[in-house]
Amino acid sequence: MFILFSSLFSEDTSKFEPEPTHLPRGVSIENLTKVYKTGHKLAVKNLSLNLYEGQITSFLGHNGADKTTTM
């Protein structure tokens, strides 16, 4: 599974991979939001994703896309 951060804020889900129904879910995240302490910068907004056992997941995005914040 590859997660491309520049496309996460789009409502178009046509390019998303289908959920792998044959693998058990390992981690599930629903509506994760991160605002920095100052309260002025939104880092991550309403991120939802499932990570599955036996599947390699990679976060891809440009510098400053808040990949590390999400982790």
Three-state DSSP at 39 gives coil
The phi and psi torsions of 69 (rounded to 5 degrees) equal -60, -40
Model confidence pLDDT, tens digit, residues 21-62: 899 999 998 888 889 888 788 888 888 888 999 988 888 888
pTM, whole model, 2 decimals? 0.63
Count: domains in the chain: 1
Dig out the tokens for 30 from the structure: 């629903």
End-to-end distance of the chain based on CA atoms, in angstroms?
15
Domain range for 12: 2-70
Residue 1's nearest CA partner among 62, 60, 63, 44 is: 60
Helix (H) / strand (E) element for 70: namely helix 67-70
